[in-house]
Chains A and B, each alone.
Chain A
Amino acid sequence: MIRAMTGGGLRLETNKERSTAAPLRAASVPAEVILPLDQHAGTAARPLVKVGDAVLLGQPIAEPTSDISAWVHSPVSGSVIAVEPRPVAYHAASSPCIVIRNDFADRRDNANTAVDYASMSPAQLSDHIARGGIVGLGGATFPTASKLSQAVAQPDLHLLLNGAECEPWISCDDMLMRERAADIVFGAHVLMHALGTVSCTIAVEDDVPQAIASLRAAAAQVQPHIRIATLPDVYPAGGERQLILAVTDREVPAGRLPSDIGILCQNVGTAAAVARWIRDGEPLITRIVTITGSGVREPANLETRLGTPIASLIADCGGYTTDDRRLIMGGSMMGLAFSDDRLPIVKGSNCVIVPSPSDLHPRSAEMPCIRCGNCSEVCPAWLLPQQLHWQAQAHDVAALESFGLMDCIECGCCDYVCPSQIPLTQRFREAKVPVQAELLARSEAHLSRQRYEARGERLVRIENEQRARLEQKRREITGRKSPP
């Protein structure tokens, strides 16, 4: 039973057709690729190569450093010319990067081969998926194997593949589902095997009929059966928690994970990447990127080698239409603005928008909150943005926490409807930092208190034991001294 998102959300005018008119094609391969070591969620990877090393296409060049980290592979063959910090589009600071000069020979690393996943145990398969450098391609870039291992102990898991691309400009998953539905279905089967489950749903918004048709056709050819669920195109239906509620009618509790209610969510692009790694032995070295907006001549979806500078993709799309160089990485609702087009495409780059002024929701100066309550009506997480706004201004960490700031998914719906043009999402993003620090301090205090109390109990126990031993000895001695 599919229902519309329960409360909240917006019906937005979509602009997907601009970038879906042309078929999916490969982007031109650049002379130099820049690969950030922290392009995934978790800890940065550790480089395995140094300046001057020759590398092959698909060769691992950096290894994970913790349970939540990922391998990085070379998307070209050539030589390493730098291992140094470079600017990136996903945060303000620079990131450590490996820079590789392409020799355009595309010499492959023959160590990467296809594997027979059906003969592997779920744990082996999960390890192997990690070696492919595969992370969530929906944008959050959480390492896929880490997500699998968090869920694997759960019985009756349900795999939910997220094809609900709700951001109004992004169409990379739409194109992937249209043209590579078989990859998604194969990847779904691999993920199901890794989780030891046979139930899987692919959720898609109802405004992508071609994608739905090709998914249905691909799913019909293989067993076990994969359900294709369609849901109304309400933004942000593709948010993980929103999607789970819409498709399964179950809510993920605050502060918990979907796996706690027996659901594992993966993006359709991630499933396709898993398929290419398992079936073709190709690690995650390319991804589909939507290049769109009125500021670019021929919007399109391009299959791009990771590390390609954004300027090269813009050139592939016919170049800029204006000199006004504003860029958005990600969607128009949740994306981040940046201006330097030399920055590289990374695993999480699903879309680059080159907007003209007419594309953007015009914003005037911020005015005071009039308590209209529009924001709480559209909030898909059922928060009260107007209250959070006051509390954030007052830096009231305790109130922000109790009003559920950490459940804000930063979707931008409240900004969109605010008649006073208050940049609420930006405020919430900033306010989360001290709240997060407070939560961390509290959990650390809780742990050190436990250890302190455990130590106290242990010291008392040791002392009592020692006293008992002394007492025992004293009794033995006095017993011996007494006459027989």
Chain B
Amino acid sequence: MFAAFALTFALVSLLAVALLWPRESPASNESRLIDRINDLLPQTQCRRCTFEGCKPYATAIARGEAGINQCPPGGERTMIELAELLKREAIAVDPKFGVMPAQPAVAWIDEAVCIGCTKCIQACPVDAIIGGSKFMHTVITDDCTGCELCIPPCPVDCIEMRPKAAMTGAVT
């Protein structure tokens, strides 16, 4: 008799704890969603989506302020993964946000022409360009995401995109 009573009491208190347990705040819920979206994005930081980087784009998607079809580097695959995560309708990546080259490309600086203005260094979202003021700059090929953001600021047009495969030694 006592055992049955104790068991009932234990179950009821468990239920009470479960019901009264503090819920996640909506803010932390949203930040978790942003992180999950950001995990699916390619981290190119190219701003083709019109936002300031992958995380800002992820934030806009989470808040319903942006579509899932604005990431050309991620392409169809990222769009489908986003659609699955967010239970949204799949929709083709809009070419107005840009078209990616067939082969992954990286920036390359013609060092003989570079005047050392540092404008590309400031433009690079992932710190993949090194050099000092009035000294030659160069791209760290392994770190370049191919975002192309360094190309417009260059006053002497000495930066071009080259296929990544040709720029890195093939490792077997």
Determine whether the beta carbon of A448 is less than 8 Å from that of B169: no
Determine whether the beta carbon of B171 is less than 8 Å from that of A448: no
Contacts A441-B42, A445-B43; is A451 near B172 (CB within 8 Å)?
no
A278 to B127, CA, bound (A): 45
Q: Does B69 contact A (CB under 8 A)?
A: no
Determine whether the beta carbon of A445 is less than 8 Å from that of B42: yes
A390 neighbours in B (Cβ, 8 Å): none
A456 to B55, CA, bound (A): 11
Q: Does A43 contact B (CB under 8 A)?
A: yes
Mark each residue of chain A from 60 to 76: 1 if its CB lies under 8 Å from any CB of chain B, else 0. Answer: 00000110100000000
A44 neighbours in B (Cβ, 8 Å): 172
A20 CB to nearest chain B CB (Å): 33
Contacts A455-B125, A455-B126; is A448 near B172 (CB within 8 Å)?
no
Closest to A91 in B: B172
Which A449-475 residues have C-beta < 8 A from chain B? 449, 451-456
- Which of B54, B128, B171 is close to A451, meaning CB atoms less than 8 Å apart? B128
Contacts A445-B42, A447-B143; is A43 near B169 (CB within 8 Å)?
yes
Contacts A451-B127, A452-B53, A455-B125; is A446 near B43 (CB within 8 Å)?
yes
A65 to B171, CA, bound (A): 11
B169 neighbours in A (Cβ, 8 Å): 43, 65-66
Determine whether the beta carbon of B172 is less than 8 Å from that of A41: yes
A447 to B45, CA, bound (A): 12
Mark each residue of chain A from 305 to 317: 1 if its CB lies under 8 Å from any CB of chain B, else 0. Answer: 0000000000000
Which B16-49 residues have C-beta < 8 A from chain A? 38, 41-45
Mark each residue of chain A from 191 to 211: 1 if its CB lies under 8 Å from any CB of chain B, else 0. Answer: 000000000000000000000
Q: Does A127 contact B (CB under 8 A)?
A: no
Chain A at the B interface: mostly helix, strand, loop or mixed?
helix
Q: Does B138 contact A (CB under 8 A)?
A: no
Determine whether the beta carbon of B42 is less than 8 Å from that of A454: no
A91 to B170, CA, bound (A): 14
Determine whether the beta carbon of A448 is less than 8 Å from that of B143: yes
B53 neighbours in A (Cβ, 8 Å): 452, 456
A469 CB to nearest chain B CB (Å): 20
Contacts A42-B171, A447-B143; is A454 near B127 (CB within 8 Å)?
yes
A43 to B168, CA, bound (A): 11
A455 neighbours in B (Cβ, 8 Å): 125-127
Which B97-119 residues have C-beta < 8 A from chain A? none
Q: Does B145 contact A (CB under 8 A)?
A: yes
Chain B at the A interface: mostly helix, strand, loop or mixed?
loop
Q: Does A303 contact B (CB under 8 A)?
A: no
B143 neighbours in A (Cβ, 8 Å): 447-448, 451
A453 neighbours in B (Cβ, 8 Å): 55
Closest to A441 in B: B42
Contacts A448-B143, A448-B145, A451-B128; is A43 near B171 (CB within 8 Å)?
yes
Mark each residue of chain A from 35 to 79: 1 if its CB lies under 8 Å from any CB of chain B, else 0. Answer: 000100111100000000000000000000110100000000000
B139 CB to nearest chain A CB (Å): 13
A68 to B172, CA, bound (A): 10
Determine whether the beta carbon of B126 is less than 8 Å from that of A451: yes
A41 to B172, CA, bound (A): 7
A123 to B56, CA, bound (A): 47
B44 neighbours in A (Cβ, 8 Å): 448
- Which of A68, A91, A444, A448 is close to B45, meaning CB atoms less than 8 Å apart? A448
A452 to B42, CA, bound (A): 12
A38 to B145, CA, bound (A): 28
B167 CB to nearest chain A CB (Å): 14
Contacts A454-B127, A455-B127; is A449 near B171 (CB within 8 Å)?
no
Closest to A453 in B: B55
Determine whether the beta carbon of B43 is less than 8 Å from that of A449: yes
A451 to B44, CA, bound (A): 11
A339 to B118, CA, bound (A): 57
Determine whether the beta carbon of A452 is less than 8 Å from that of B128: no
A450 CB to nearest chain B CB (Å): 9
Mark each residue of chain B from 46 to 62: 1 if its CB lies under 8 Å from any CB of chain A, else 0. Answer: 00000001110000000
Closest to A41 in B: B172
A68 neighbours in B (Cβ, 8 Å): 171
Contacts A447-B143, A452-B126; is A38 near B172 (CB within 8 Å)?
yes
Mark each residue of chain A from 385 to 424: 1 if its CB lies under 8 Å from any CB of chain B, else 0. Answer: 0000000000000000000000000000000000000000
B127 neighbours in A (Cβ, 8 Å): 451, 454-455
B171 neighbours in A (Cβ, 8 Å): 42-43, 66, 68
Which B54-101 residues have C-beta < 8 A from chain A? 54-55
A43 to B171, CA, bound (A): 5
B131 CB to nearest chain A CB (Å): 16
Determine whether the beta carbon of A452 is less than 8 Å from that of B172: no
A72 CB to nearest chain B CB (Å): 15
- Which of A41, A444, A452 is close to B54, meaning CB atoms less than 8 Å apart? A452
Closest to A40 in B: B172
A447 to B53, CA, bound (A): 15
A448 to B45, CA, bound (A): 8
Closest to A90 in B: B172
Closest to B42 in A: A445
Which A277-309 residues have C-beta < 8 A from chain B? none
Closest to A454 in B: B127
B149 CB to nearest chain A CB (Å): 12
A444 neighbours in B (Cβ, 8 Å): 43, 145
A384 to B18, CA, bound (A): 39
Q: Which 6 A-B pairs have the closest CB atoms?
A: A445-B43, A451-B126, A449-B43, A448-B43, A448-B126, A452-B45
A-B contact pairs, 10 of them (CB 8 A): A41-B172, A43-B172, A66-B169, A68-B171, A448-B43, A452-B45, A452-B53, A452-B54, A452-B125, A452-B126
